[in-house]
Amino acid sequence: MKTRRIPAGFVPEGLPWVAPSVTVLLALSIYPLIFAVKLALTGAGGAPTFANFTRLAHDRVFGAAAAQTILFTLGALAFEFGVGLALALLIDSLARARSIFRAAILVPMLLPPVVAAVCWRLIYNPQFGVLNGTLRRIGIHTSLTWTNGESSALASVIGVDIWEWTPFIFLLLSAGLQAIPQEPLEAARIDGASAWQTFRDVTLPLLKPAMVLAVLLRAMDLVRIFDQIFILTQGGPGTATETVSLYIYRTAFRFSNFGYAAAMSFVLLIATMLFSRGVMKAMRAR
């Protein structure tokens, strides 16, 4: 069997076409990643050290921020997935005006997160906000500080995220429902299956790929939430709504401890990857 020798100076035919993309990838992704690794492994005197990572085990503020991040992610994801699935099933069952309802549901997602957070900050205002004003008009006299109370701040932030990003899960699940073939559904109806049995035994298994995609994308976005919480509460009151991303921001740009912030960023990245892997394995097992 003859082996084909590549002549010296040979340039692959497609290399000039992919070279700009590879260059941009190296400049914007690979190099910052390598620099961040070096920064996380550098001590105060410039010597290599793992002190930034070992410090995380004794940092109570990081532990509290991680707990807040998990609570925020699970709370928002549970509501968004449940409401998004219900809306997708409801809109898919409509015979008329389906496209109009879909467009109306997607409106909150079209707003930039910063704009949505500013609007909700005005809505939550205890003095002239729309929410407290509406409650007073219906006879409920309250001056509840939605984003300033320790017991209500996290729930208020979760509510804003649910309002804005439930349409994203609705969009993915609605597309998944549209991709389901009609033959299994018709066969289930012919066999006398009820609506619940058809959903449980036919629709739900065929919708699983879209469900996994929706959960993974939203979970990865939720664990690094920053902009909405920064505008609404800035992590307060106290540390009631401080997430890992906010703690990384304060460590890097307020206290100028970039090495420790880089170490926390890598821990957050690894945790996100492990969570994604766990969700995929669990869904495959089922």
210-219: average pLDDT: 92
Between residues 16 and 100, the one the model is more confident about: 100
State pLDDT tens for residues 271-280: 888 888 887 7
pLDDT class of 11 with cuts at 50, 70, 90: low
Q: Which of the listed ranges 160-174, 224-238, 269-283 does the model predict with the highest average pLDDT?
A: 160-174
Can you list the domains of the chain with their CATH numbers?
60-285 (1.10.3720.10)
Run of H or E including 7? none
Q: Apex CA 54: angle with CA 48 and CA 56, to 5°? A: 125
pLDDT score for 97: 78
Residue 16: pLDDT over 60: yes
Respond yes or no on whether the N-terminal peptide bond of residue 237 is cis (omega within 30° of 0): yes
CA distances to 20, 48, 141, 262, 269 from 33, in Å: 19, 17, 53, 10, 11
- What does the alpha-carbon distance between residue 146 and residue 140 come to, in Å, rounded to a whole number? 15
- What does the alpha-carbon distance between residue 261 and residue 252 come to, in Å, rounded to a whole number? 6
Q: What is the mean pLDDT of the chain?
A: 87
27-41: average pLDDT: 86
Cβ pair 13, 25 in contact under 8 A: no
Residue 134: pLDDT over 90: no
- What does the alpha-carbon distance between residue 257 and residue 40 come to, in Å, rounded to a whole number? 10
204-217: average pLDDT: 91
pLDDT score for 151: 81
pLDDT score for 136: 82
